[in-house]
Amino acid sequence: MLLASAAFASSKASASFVYELGKMTEAELETDVIHFNAKILFQNPLSFHWKSTDIRSDGGKIVLLTAGFPFRFSSFSWKPSFLFAAGVWDKGDFEYFYGKPDLPRVFGSSLDAEYAFHRFGADFLSGNAKLLNNTEDAELFDADFYLYHAFYGLHAGSLFKARAGFAGFKMEALGALTAGNQRYFLFPYAYYQASGTMNAKAVYGTATVSLESNFLKYGIDLGIFYLINGKIRGNMHYQYRKFFGDDEVYDTIHPVELKNSGLLFSVLSIKTRKIKIGKIYAAYGIQKPLVYPFGRIFPKGGKTGSSDASSIKEAILWGLSAHIEAGF
């Protein structure tokens, strides 16, 4: 997928526009005692194809508020921060049923500390997410989740940065589809109930090397993400309609182990220095990610021959993004 974006910024507020994804407005206040940021994303209608499934959304709105309170003592600084997020979406289609996401609340807190070239941090995030009926906002599925994260970072000047961290995630979900809350014939079921849990623990490491010339800035990001533990479990209870057997079925998803799997990745980027025209400056750049999955949860890759022009084009353009920035 090829994305393009444009950003226009002043010292205190900015608005950026992202092709295909939507429009984001942003306001910022930064003083010696508080760093406050507010973002609103107006998501455009979009469609997503995964295997044989088409997922569509008519758009939505997401609000993100953050507030940080920096303190400094000699060469040691630390900043506790707090986050709130919420989102609502318009009508959607998940191929097998109609519905739309809803994000009533997400709360987060974090603590960052810095001493010389060293940085330490910890984050905690919890929230609730739902899938709602398109017409009456009736609840189809409900999920509670939380995420925690801790890291150590080394910033050796502007040329080299490295980070290593640990993260954990847990989610529990429950819901049901019926002919009533779908407002159409739930073919071929009379109802379908599902519940499940997911948990995972992972470690990661990243390194960034930056180089500069008189006109360009080059960046190379290298990293690894590795799942050390985790499981997905689920239970289904459904019944077929009378003309399809009238059978009532209880089914269980055997635990899917998530451990011993991960991703190796790299991001290559090139960006121009700011080009000044009077009191206005402009800069542009491109970046390309490369990802290699490994481990038991990823299927073995299929064939990609050099004669397959479509596959070559997809590999080159996947994740490729262009960025244009203007400021005053």
Q: Tell me the whole-structure pTM to 2 decimals.
A: 0.73
Tell me, what's the pLDDT at 312?
Answer: 54
Of the listed ranges 9-13, 116-120, 130-134, 187-191, the one predicted with least confidence: 9-13
pLDDT tens per residue across span 205-253: 999 998 888 788 888 999 999 999 999 999 999 988 877 777 889 999 8
pLDDT tens per residue across span 268-292: 888 887 777 777 778 878 888 888 8
195 Cβ neighbours under 8 A, 6+ residues apart: 172, 173, 174, 175, 234, 235
Q: Higher confidence at residue 268 or residue 94?
A: 268
Q: Class for domain 46-327, per CATH?
A: mainly beta
pLDDT tens per residue across span 142-169: 999 999 999 999 988 778 999 999 999 9
Give the start-to-end residue ranges of the domains of the chain.
Answer: 46-327
The rounded distance, in Å, linking the Cα atoms of 22 and 60 is 9
Computed from CA positions of residues 258, 101, 16, 85, in that sequence, does the dihedral angle turn out positive or negative? negative
Tell me, what's the pLDDT at 232?
Answer: 93
For 60, the enclosing helix (H) or strand (E) is strand 60-68
Of the listed ranges 74-78, 144-148, 173-177, 185-189, the one predicted with least confidence: 185-189
* Cα distance between the two ends of the chain: 31
Average pLDDT over residues 82-94: 93
